[in-house]
Amino acid sequence: MRIPIGLSSVFSIQGPRSIYVYSLFIGLLSGFGAYGFNSALTWTESFTFGNLIGYDPGTPAGDLHFHSVDKVGELSPLWILFLPAIGGLLVGIITSFFCQEAQGGGTDSLIHAFHFNEGKISTKVPFYKALATILTLGSGGSGGKEGPTAQIGAGFGSSLANLLGAGARARRTLMLAGTAGGLGAIFRAPLGGAITAVEMVYQEDIESDSLVPCILSSVTAYLTYTSIAGSGSIFSVKEYSLNDYRHIPLYIVLGLLCYVVGYFFVKVYHWVQDIFSKLPLPIFLKPAFGGLIVGCIALLFPEVLGSGFGLIQRMINGEVLTSTSFGFSGPFFLLAVAIF
């Protein structure tokens, strides 16, 4: 679908200024889209975690506006085991029969569209990606919102570019502007969303031509989102100051350790993807099988359920966290969170 020929000269992209104006509009769309997505996800989690599973995953301070789990019932091992598989089955049906682009974390599909498809993303992707993510996280799947939100925003930008009849270069720019808007809104980080959008499509470079449109979109999306959901960051952190410079080497060691863990995590993640791709199962059943494995892990360690943002907030608050099943706490509990 495109704008009628008579109006195309009025709304067509005719230079950088047009890109900037449409970047603001994409930011507005991304801000409202991120709010709707987060509202639907939180409502789903409130029902599944509170009424079915009986586990409170906690809520980051920035999401208190959405009201997470209001009432928690008794912990149900049956739902813990099978709910992620049910969610996986529904996601498998969506990604197999309705929208194949909605599968995966979101960033791989976004990068492929940027480099190999002239920035073209189907108009149905934002809806189905949001639905698949809500079903995954709402059923207890251990994942995050960053990749899906980036792809949803990118879908908004690409769809607007298609409507305007934009060329490949402008379409890629508007696609990245949508990515920045989605990230800036959902994580309340306007500059971070813009920088992430322009650097994620390359290994050792950034899409510098898109930096200004991404900043405009991300800031607009952030202001739109926070005007409804309230200001502040996603996590509430107590005031902290560095009083002993002998701590600095520890931060350096921590950074190096996180690099090593992150590197091997990505390698193992892609290795598991390869294993699942070779399983002799229908494609739509593979997410259900993966969900069943998640349910088995969650029976031992329910803290792996969901995005984990609420658990992180509780850690930041300094709460003494104890494992539901094993009873250990402190460093052993934190190590178990990382492993499981």
Domain that holds residue 181: 5-243+284-339
Evaluate if residue 3 carries a pLDDT over 80: no
Q: Report CA torsion sign: 160, 161, 162, 166.
A: positive
Single pTM value for the model: 0.86
**Is 265 within the bounds of a domain?**
no
Reported as a pLDDT band with limits 50, 70 and 90, residue 24 is: very high
Q: What is the pLDDT of residues 200-246, one digit of tens each?
A: 888 777 888 889 999 999 999 999 999 998 888 888 888 877 888 88
Query: How would residue 7 be classed by pLDDT, with cut points 50, 70 and 90?
Result: very low
Q: Is 235 contained in some domain?
A: yes
Whether residue 272 is contained in a domain is answered as no
Q: How far apart are CA 197 and CA 209, in angstroms?
A: 12
107 part of a folded domain: yes
Beta carbons of 303 and 323 less than 8 angstroms apart: yes
Give dist(CA 224, CA 285) in Å, integer.
Answer: 39
CA Rg value for the chain: 21
255 lies in some domain = no
How many structural domains is the chain composed of?
A: 1
Measured in residues, the chain has a length of 340
Measured CA to CA in angstroms, residue 284 lies from 35, 109, 136 at distances of 29, 18, 14
On whether residue 63 sits in a domain, the answer given is yes
Q: What is the pLDDT of residue 239?
A: 81
Instruction: Examine residue 321 and state whether it is found in any structural domain, yes or no.
Output: yes
CATH number assigned to the domain comprising residue 16: 1.10.3080.10
As a whole number of angstroms, the distance between CA 238 and CA 56 comes to: 23
The pLDDT of residue 84 is: 94
Exposure class string for 286-323: b at 16+ Cβ within 10 A, else e:
bbbbbbbebbeebeebbbbbbbbbbbebbbeeeeebeb
Q: Is residue 258 part of a domain?
A: no
